[in-house]
């Protein structure tokens, strides 16, 4: 089901990209994915926050930066739904990660903390208020999944398990190993039995993609599209980069490409299953 009205704790729920020129970024992404972008900040605010919609439903956002601030590195961020941003920030510190920005309120939209795992891959905890995450996922032009690229897969399994209760399931795709993270839960009974539920994220060792040594571990976002090759070509036409040309994922029937917007924020696109 592609329409969402909320998420369970431990499930990634929202993505946004910080950009030095949010209007230029909005022009790129609206032309690439067919989004409509609207600034949701008050008229006197120094920073724009452009919520992007598809079929009238929020799918992502593009944020600016305060006037006079040093130009930021453009990147996509993943936000994970939590019951308490403060509690999750404490868990991150206990598990060896870093609290990049202490929990803070975002008007009445929610409360968040900016965090990173022990290798430096950053993400955010989102305690929802009026903003309840992406309203549309898993359809062409919408976010489908966030993927961790890391040089320490075993450490990541331990860290994200401790912080969010994610249960890893690792399998081979061609000559590489891919890990799916599932939210752990329980079913009724005497005694209750632990189960693994929906897949909430994936992970791949950075050796699989041939990443240069200076590329740090990071979370990447993936969007579904009808035609990966056409999307890659349009990315180049709009001033972005084709980081990894379209390729087929062996054994799973998917076609994918890794792209970057004109400011260098990377993302991937995947052909819709069955498309």
What are the domain boundaries of the chain? 12-271
| Per-residue pLDDT band at 68 (split at 50, 70, 90) | confident
Structure tokens at 207: 């050796």
pTM of the entire predicted model: 0.93
Structure tokens at 23: 């209007």
Residue-level pLDDT at 188: 42
Q: What percent of the chain is predicted at pLDDT more than 90?
A: 77
Residue-level pLDDT at 209: 56
Q: Tell how strand 57-63 and strand 49-54 pair up.
A: antiparallel
CATH number of the structural domain 12-271: 3.10.180.10
Nearest C-alpha neighbor of 195 from the set 206, 181, 205, 182 = 182
- Whether the upstream peptide bond of residue 76 has omega within 30° of 0, thus cis, is no
Could you tell me which residues are beta bridge partners of residue 115? 99, 123
84 close to 181: Cβ distance less than 8 angstroms? no
| Average pLDDT for the chain | 91
Answer yes or no: is pLDDT of 1 > 70: no
Average pLDDT on 225-240 reads: 98
Residue with tokens 């036409």: 237
């Amino acid at each position: 089901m592609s329409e969402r009205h909320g998420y369970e704790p431990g499930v990634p729920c929202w993505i946004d990209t910080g950009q030095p020129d949010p209007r230029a970024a909005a022009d790129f992404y609206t032309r690439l994915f067919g989004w409509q972008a609207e600034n949701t900040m008050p008229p006197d605010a120094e920073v724009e926050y452009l919520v992007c919609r598809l079929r009238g439903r929020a799918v992502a956002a593009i944020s600016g930066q305060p006037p006079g601030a040093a130009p930021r590195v453009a990147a996509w961020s993943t936000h994970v739904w939590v019951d308490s941003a403060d509690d999750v920030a404490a868990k991150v510190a206990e598990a060896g990660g870093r609290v990049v920005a202490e929990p803070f309120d975002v008007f009445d939209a929610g409360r968040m903390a900016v965090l990173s795992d022990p290798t430096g891959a950053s993400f955010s905890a989102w305690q929802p208020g009026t903003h309840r995450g992406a309203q549309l996922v898993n359809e062409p032009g919408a976010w489908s999944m966030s993927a961790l690229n890391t040089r320490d897969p075993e450490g990541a399994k331990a860290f994200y398990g401790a912080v969010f209760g994610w249960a890893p399931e690792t399998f081979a795709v061609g000559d590489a190993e891919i890990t799916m993270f599932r939210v752990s839960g329980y079913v009724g009974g005497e005694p209750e039995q632990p189960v693994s539920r929906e897949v909430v994220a994936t992970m791949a060792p950075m050796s699989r993609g041939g990443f240069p040594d200076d590329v740090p571990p990071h979370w990447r976002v993936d969007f579904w599209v009808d035609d990966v090759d056409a999307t890659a070509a349009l990315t180049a036409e709009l001033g972005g980069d084709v980081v990894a040309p379209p390729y087929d994922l062996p054994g799973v029937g998917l076609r994918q490409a890794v792209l970057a917007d004109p400011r260098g924020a990377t993302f991937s696109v995947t052909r819709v299953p069955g498309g």
